[in-house]
Structure 1
Amino acid sequence: MGVVYPNSQSLRLGVVLRRMPGATAWAKWVWKASSVLPGAPDASWKVLREEGDTTEYHAKTLDLWLYVSDAEAYAHELQARAPSVYVVMREPAAEDEGDAPLSILHVTVSPYEAQDYSDSGEEIIERVPMSPALLAWVTSFVDAHYVEEPFVKRRRDKMRTDRAQDGIGDARIAQASDVYRAPRTPREAAE
């Protein structure tokens, strides 16, 4: 386990990316987040495995933070068929120096936070299944900090609104003929 604070915990998490040949002439390579490595040391595009044209890289190691305030989101993710870690990546800008094909920005287990990142359309969000050890760590955090609030249906008041017509017209208009007419200024009334 990584750093522990009163309202949060963190764990070092290595991100593994797989590079495969593209299927079209427009994409030479296809990149996919294939796994995460809990407790991994720092790395920068370290080659882990090569099989033909497919290569796996330990691209980067980031801190995965869990916050008490987001425990509901983590509980929601744990209820999914395959609980996942979300890897947030971005294609590097043209002016960025370096030869990294993707910038790995963030890792999270909150589906709400992943949705927030995907709203901009600039980031690439990849789901990676949680390993059993990571699943146990997130589950113990949720069990310790999440208390489900019971749903309370709002009750409507019993006031009858069909008996009186409130808010029709302007009270400053003395005529009953056209209650929707705007009031006239004193100068218009004199003419």
Structure 2
Amino acid sequence: MQADAEVYLGVVVERREIDNPWEDYIWRPVMVMPGAPMDVAWKDIHEGEGWKHFLARTLPLELHKSDTEGYRENLGQPVPLVFVALRPGEEVEEEEVEPFLLTACPHEASGYMESGDVIVEGVEMPPSVAAWLVEFVEQHHVDEPFRKRKNKRHEDRDQGSRPRGRFGGGVPS
């Protein structure tokens, strides 16, 4: 789907050592950076005891007019988030995870969380990105009134219109 607006953000990923017989590290996104270089790939930026931060990749944060309700929900939180999705690296020589998506819509992020194969975590939205998102929502959001769905009476012409079972008075077959 074509984005209505986008901004590029650098994705900072943390690799933290863990005491586990099957894995050496745990990976998680820790921040996004406006103005990051476009051609970066796994640059070390900070290091401490047992952890290391990498500027892993620069990705677009795409906005769509159809998602403004989700953006409003995100902006209404005490700390708005950018959701970062990481998937396992596919090639042996690649890093263990690969950032592949940024979104400001919690509904889209939850869809990726349900897949189970993807790490999705929210990181604090930079103030400049939050201001840009507020402006986008103010320009494009349209409130849709709630419409209660009306139930339709079921008529099964092949089986007769009399309900069967305990409540219908008929005898189940």
TM-score (norm 1): 0.73
Q: CA deviation at 1:50?
A: 1.6
Query: 2:45·2:54 contact (CA, 8 Å) conserved in 1?
Result: yes
Gaps of 5+ in 1: 157-165, 170-178, 183-191
CA distance in structure 2 between the aligned counterparts of 1:99 and 1:128, rounded to whole angstroms = 24
Range 21-30 or range 115-124, more displaced = 21-30
Query: 2:86·2:97 contact (CA, 8 Å) conserved in 1?
Result: yes
Gaps of 5+ in 2: 152-159, 164-169
Q: CA deviation at 1:152?
A: 4.8
CA distance in structure 2 between the aligned counterparts of 1:181 and 1:124, rounded to whole angstroms = 49
For residue 54 of structure 1, what is the aligned residue in structure 2?
A: 51
- Determine if the alignment matches structure 1 residue 64 to structure 2 residue 61: yes
CA distance in structure 2 between the aligned counterparts of 1:180 and 1:33, rounded to whole angstroms = 60
CA spacing shift, 1:152–1:120, aligned 2, 3 Å: closer
* Number of positions where the alignment pairs a residue of Structure 1 with one of Structure 2: 158
Structure number with larger C-alpha Rg = 1
CA RMSD in angstroms, aligned pairs only:
2.7
Please list every run of at least 4 consecutive aligned residues from structure 1 whose deviation after the TM superposition is greater than 6 angstroms: 179-182
Report percent identity of matched pairs. 33
Which amino acid counterpart does residue 130 of structure 1 have in structure 2? Answer: M
Which amino acid counterpart does residue 58 of structure 1 have in structure 2? Answer: L
The one-character-per-residue Cα deviations of 1:107-157 (angstroms, maximum 9, x if unpaired) are 11111111111222111111111111111111111111112223355689x
Q: CA deviation at 1:180?
A: 6.5
Q: CA deviation at 1:60?
A: 0.4
- Determine if the alignment matches structure 1 residue 38 to structure 2 residue 61: no
Query: 1:11·1:39 contact (CA, 8 Å) conserved in 2?
Result: no
TM-score (norm 2): 0.80
Higher relative contact order (CA 8 A, sep 6+): 2
How is 1:145-164 mapped onto 2 (pairs within 5 angstroms)? Answer: 145-152=140-147
CA spacing shift, 1:73–1:181, aligned 2, 3 Å: closer
CA distance in structure 2 between the aligned counterparts of 1:150 and 1:25, rounded to whole angstroms = 54
For residue 12 of structure 1, what is the aligned residue in structure 2?
A: 8
For residue 162 of structure 2, what is the aligned residue in structure 1?
A: 168
